[in-house]
Amino acid sequence: MNITGIILSGGQSRRMGIDKAHVCFHGTPMLHRAEKLLAKMAIPDVVILGQPVDKTAADAYPGPARALYDWIVSQAKPLDILVIPVDMPGLTPEVLQPLLAHEGGAFFRDKFLPFVARGAALNRSKAAPTRMHELLAMLRLAAVDAPSDHRLALCNVNTPAALRQLEAATKPTTSA
């Protein structure tokens, strides 16, 4: 698959209390689960977008839309990208298939993440987005319906309570 995988792992994790990338879901840190998912999908090029090292900077946390925008405009050529959040540990290749199958790139109608963009290219001539829906519009992605049986797989884990609920609702797996 000639696609670059991007894992968004830069949130402030205020509600979780610790960096979600290191939170274990069924015994595996969420960042490791995301990396294993992309490896299982045979995506060799993986970028992890995280928080800046200098957290004292005025724009210490620009948000995921701005981080993605900055990364995309820094690329030398248009790329096909699959963007997944670190805090969605139930994702599987099957869940992502409807997005990957869409010719022009897509996201699920009720979720801004994950998404696939084909030939992603942006330039700084436009104002940088502050919200994910603005970035998706800039990339001209289609909104597609998520299959109803993927509801749990598309849950974000933002709090310890949400983590416990999702773990209780899902069976441990050895795959991504």
In single-letter form, the type of residue at position 84 comes to I
**Which pLDDT score, from 0 to 100, does residue 172 have?**
67
Other C-beta atoms lying within 10 Å of the C-beta of residue 68: 27
**Which pLDDT score, from 0 to 100, does residue 58 have?**
42
Q: Which three-class secondary structure state does DSSP give residue 31? A: helix
Other C-beta atoms lying within 10 Å of the C-beta of residue 113: 19
Alpha carbon separation from 155 to 63, 75, 76, 163 (Å, rounded):
19, 30, 34, 10
107-159 pLDDT, tens digit each: 999 899 999 999 999 988 778 998 999 999 999 999 999 988 888 899 988 88
CB 92 within 8 Å of CB 176: yes
Which segments of 52-155 does DSSP mark as H helices, in order?
A: 64-73, 93-101, 132-138
pLDDT bucket at 85, cuts 50 / 70 / 90: very high
**Which pLDDT score, from 0 to 100, does residue 14 have?**
66
pLDDT bucket at 175, cuts 50 / 70 / 90: low
65-78 pLDDT, tens digit each: 998 999 999 999 99
Evaluate if residue 103 carries a pLDDT over 60: yes
**Which pLDDT score, from 0 to 100, does residue 59 have?**
47
8-66 pLDDT, tens digit each: 987 666 667 677 888 889 999 999 999 999 999 999 999 999 755 444 444 455 688 99
**Which pLDDT score, from 0 to 100, does residue 126 have?**
75
pLDDT bucket at 1, cuts 50 / 70 / 90: low
